[in-house]
Structures are given as structure tokens and as C-alpha cells.
Homo-oligomer: A and B are copies of this chain.
Amino acid sequence: MERNISVEELNQIPTPKKEVEIVERKGIGHPDSVADGIAEAVSRSLSKYYLEHYGRILHHNTDQVEVVGGQSAPKYGGGLVLEPTYILLSGRATTKVGNDRVPYKSITIKAAKDYLRNNFSHLDVDADVMIDSRIGQGSVDLVEVYDTSKLEANDTSFGVGFAPLSETENIVLKTERYLNGSLKKKLPMVGYDIKVMGFRQKDTINLTVAAAFVDKYIKDADEYFNLKDQLKDLVLDNAVEETDKEVKVYINTADIRENSKSVGYLTVTGMSMENGDDGSVGRGNRVNGLITPYRAMSMEAAAGKNPVTHVGKLYNVLANKIANDIVQEEGNDIAEVLVRIVSQIGRPIDDPHVASVQVIYEGNVDHSKHKNNIRNLVNDRLAHVSDLTMQFVEGKITVF
């Protein structure tokens, strides 16, 4: 198979050397990430059911989850969830196989609840959320085209990836993972809804962190502001390990101390969806975990898409993987690489319309050697695109 692979040199300044850079990450408890996480969990559960009963993953796309925020009344010492968050699952699934009917609705609402229970310890899934499912059967015509045994692209779409991450990008990613990871042992009152905005201007990195606190652990505003100071120091210590640049940290900048009503960013469950914040799939992080307006991005929502033929899922992850592999294998000569893969509906997924690689080299380099290596690497990764499928099903690839 002769694949259409374009490798092009870009003669331009790599992102980290530009004057300004903006990077954002929505933590796993952000409503958009909650929607992504549920969508992907639902797809994994359906995939496992199909595999177990029919030996292959049948068509589905559950990349439509709407999180409609509830109402809460947090307060120091512990408040109340007043109205549960409403979560609507939609999308499509294979609901019938021959004469067998698939218990798709039960599988999907159970997967959603399990995901919430396993990830958000302050949430009472029985009382704080209501889950509805309007997942339906796919269009009869499209199901044929989508037939997942043919491994043809389901849509005319594309994936985008780049490598390596800049310092700012690394710090933003690392900060959220720290806050939703090991920091919880030191400061258990830090909730799951965390948003990290990195804004680098020349050699200064500004980290603006919005972090929901869990009210029951904090007795009053003094303790809250004290904890914010501790958190600021910890975030700073964690960030400076990654960079020599100056780092400035801002936590919950909307807090107004003097205003008795609105003193801090308190929540009952550690998640802002409890109180009016809505979310939906595909509006948050890209598959590399970041939102990067100074970089190329795809608009495709990967979470919840079927992991067999949906190029919006496969090609975005593959483009990032290819970019990373190129940087790793071609070594220091490469300053930055951008990868886009374009499908056309009906073409085999391992033979895209085009795979386009743009490379920014470091200084004077013999490009011809790299160009060939890159072409071979891309060719190889495309040939093995279907290896990704089971990694999605097993949860080994994150998509947001």
C-alpha cells in the first residue's frame, strides 16, 4: 500500500521560544471533564460487553453527555447539595444483534455511576446526581458504513498532534495531576474540580489555579485563606522543579475576602457541577490533556467515540503518538513536530487521505535523512493503528 504521507519542513520559531504562550487544563472534576470521563467509561463498558458476547466491538458512539449543574449551599463546616446534578447520556449503540437485544441502557447508566463513584469520593451518587439515558440506535444506513469489522473510516475527519510539550505545557499538566493526585494526602480538602491556566509571557509563567475546596474540612474563612497560602506554596514548589523560568501562582482569584457572602471557592462535593456549572463532551481538554490555543488542535471529541473505526478518536491519539515517537527516535535535531491525519469516509482507516508531518529542526540539520525516517515511522504507525483499539478498551489511553 502506498500511503499519502507528506513531510514538510517548517522554518519557524518553536512554540516555547515565542513571546506568549497560553495553556489550559481542566481537571478531572471539571464538568466538561466529567462529561468526557463518563462518555469514555460508557464506551469501554459497551466495548467489553460486545467483545464478551459477540467477539468483536460493535458500532457505538457515546460521545454525547450533558452535565446540567445542580444547586448547592456549601458552608464552612459542611453544607448541603440542594438539587442533584442531572446527567443526560446520549449517542448511539448497537442495540440488537440478530435476535439478541443488548442491555445497552442498563450497561451505560451503570458505567456512568461506577465512574462517578470510583473517581469522586465526596459525591453521593444516590442523592447528588440523577442520570438519564437517551442513547438510541444508530441510523440503519450509517450502521452499514460503520460496520466495525470493515475498519473503514466512519467520517471525513482529522486528527492533530504535536511534540514535544513545552515547559509551560508540562507544568500545567503536572500541576493538575499533582492537585488531583498525591497532594490530596496533604490537603484532602482540595476538591476535584480544578482548572489550571498557564500563561507565559517571555520568561515568566503565570499559573492561575481555580480549585474547589470541600467545605466540611474547613471551619472558617481564616482556615480557608491559610489553606490557600499552603496550596500556593505547594503548587509553586511542584512547578519550579520543571523550569528555570520565574513562576507566579494565583489561586482562586475570584475570592473576595471582605465580602462576607462570597469569601471562598467552597463546595460540598469538591465539584462545581453541584452548583450551576454545566459541562459537555468535547469542550475541554484535547487528547493530550491540554487546551493549547497557540498550537494546532482538532475540534473532535474523542471521549466516547468507538475505538475501532472512529477517526476522530484514533487519528487524534495516533497523531500525538507519531509526534512523540518522532521526537524520541530522531533525537535532538528536532525542535518541534506537528502531525495531522485526514480521513475520508469509506477509506480503510490505515490508509488516510493524507498524513501530514511538519517539522521544525534545530539549527543546521541534514533533513533528508530525517525525512525518510519520519516517512517510514508514519507508515509503520498507520499500519498498526488498530493496536490502539484494545488499549482504549482497557483504559490505557487517556483521551482528555
Contact = CB atoms under 8 A, between A and B. Distances in A.
Interface of A: 4, 6, 8, 10-13, 18-20, 22, 24, 64, 66, 68-71, 73, 80-84, 86, 88, 90-92, 101-107, 109-110, 113, 124, 126-128, 130-134, 136-142, 144-145, 156, 158, 160, 195, 197, 199, 201, 206, 208, 210, 250, 253-254, 259, 261-262, 272, 275-278, 280-284, 286, 291, 293-299, 301, 340, 342, 344-346, 353-354, 356, 358
A101 B131 contact: no
A153 to B, nearest CB: 10
Contacts of A124: 106, 110
A386 to B, nearest CB: 21
Given A68-B64, A280-B66, A345-B253, A354 B199 contact: yes
A78 to B, nearest CB: 13
A70 B101 CA distance: 13
Contacts of A20: 6, 8, 340, 354, 356, 358
Nearest to A154: B254
B13 A13 contact: no
A159 B293 CA distance: 9
Most chain B CB neighbours (cut-off 10 Å) among A91, A156, A262? A156
A211 to B, nearest CB: 12
Contact of A136 (B66, B69, B345): B69
Given A6-B20, A278-B91, A344-B208, A82 B102 contact: yes
Most chain B CB neighbours (cut-off 10 Å) among A81, A82, A109, A291? A82
A90 B66 contact: yes
Given A18-B10, A64-B68, A342-B22, A132 B130 contact: yes
A195 B344 CA distance: 13
A167 B278 CA distance: 38
A267 B271 CA distance: 39
A299 B22 CA distance: 12
